[in-house]
Copies of this chain bind each other. A is one copy, B any other.
Amino acid sequence: MDEATSVDVTQKEQPPPDTSKAWGGIDLGGTKIEAVVIDGAGTVLGRTRHPTPGEGSVDEVVMAMYGAIEEAAHAAGLTPQQLAGVGVGAPGAVDANAGTLAHVSNVGRGWSEPYPVAANLGELTGGRVALGNDVQVAVAAEYRLGAGRPYRSVLGVWWGTGVGGGLVLDGVPWRGRGAAGEIGHVVVKPGGARCGCGRRGCMEAYAGRASMERKARKAVGQGEKTILFELMEKKGRPRLTSSIWDKALREEDPLATWLIDRAVRMLGAGLASAINLLDVEAIVLGGGLGTRLGSRYAERIHEAMRPHIFVPGRQPPVLMAELGDQAGAIGAALLAAPPAK
């Protein structure tokens, strides 16, 4: 929670950017709400970050989203009502056509029934609001403006609490019937470890930060030694954050090293499977853990894929995401903006 302090960055440019057409984007997360305003070239004209209302109702969450986009718009010298459109990237079950969001468990106090986020937020902003999956829009942003720029087809892998994913195929985000991109639930070991989704043997059951934390707690319960939980207490965190994993790895903690090695191995198998099936040009690695561990681990994942790649000469690169924390909000804004790559 403590990283969700409010940030307000006004971008200053010479000559002043063209704000006659600007779009707003909101990345709705469990901890924070990121908002940006971009122009037609994807340049960020204003941004802000708010903490997500901890135990807020869905109405309070929508109000907080409006507050964030208002601040980002002001930072760009605009009002929300002057934006040509607003997009929202969200977790849970997104129905883009209906503009509803359901089955949200870790935002505010959560809600299960479909809630008309697009209509209710649109009443406040006075315009159209587009909804998309948080990871899918972040991947689309990396495709258009980040690490995926040189390519037409990319697989984005968001390595964090879970392992999310998104696909862009020949320039078009591929959503299947709405649920595509779940690379974290590619099966790497039938009958294997229990996943947060309730199934067994998913890649996320080995590589997701939440799964690794469960496994680490179990190991400690069985008498294994690790500095992971000491670091957690020292930092006053309730969970093993990405920076804690990073530090434990740097200090060569055996349990952390074993768990991350296993995660890398399973990411290698799962991502190679995706490449054998789809033969895309590049993989973009993002997410909290991916971003924190950085390019050395992107390279390790690339190496872990190698034994499983069917056409070895054509193994695509694993690139670090470039847009950082703003990828989701920028991608959300692109949901509302016209295509431009």
The chain A residues found within 8 Å of chain B, CB to CB, are 153, 165, 167, 169, 174-183, 185-190, 197, 199-202, 265-266, 268-270, 272-274, 276-281, 307-308, 310-311, 314
Contact = CB atoms under 8 A, between A and B. Distances in A.
B308 A199 contact: yes
A205 to B, nearest CB: 11
Nearest to A268: B190
A175 B188 CA distance: 24
A1 to B, nearest CB: 29
A307 B182 CA distance: 15
A169 B273 CA distance: 18
B266 A185 contact: no
B279 A177 contact: yes
B277 A187 contact: no
A186 B308 CA distance: 8
24 contacts: A167-B277, A176-B278, A177-B279, A177-B281, A179-B276, A179-B279, A179-B310, A180-B277, A180-B278, A182-B276, A182-B277, A182-B310, A185-B276, A185-B310, A186-B186, A186-B273, A187-B269, A187-B270, A188-B190, A189-B190, A190-B268, A190-B269, A277-B278, A278-B278
A178 B176 CA distance: 21
Contacts of A189: 189-190
A175 B311 CA distance: 13
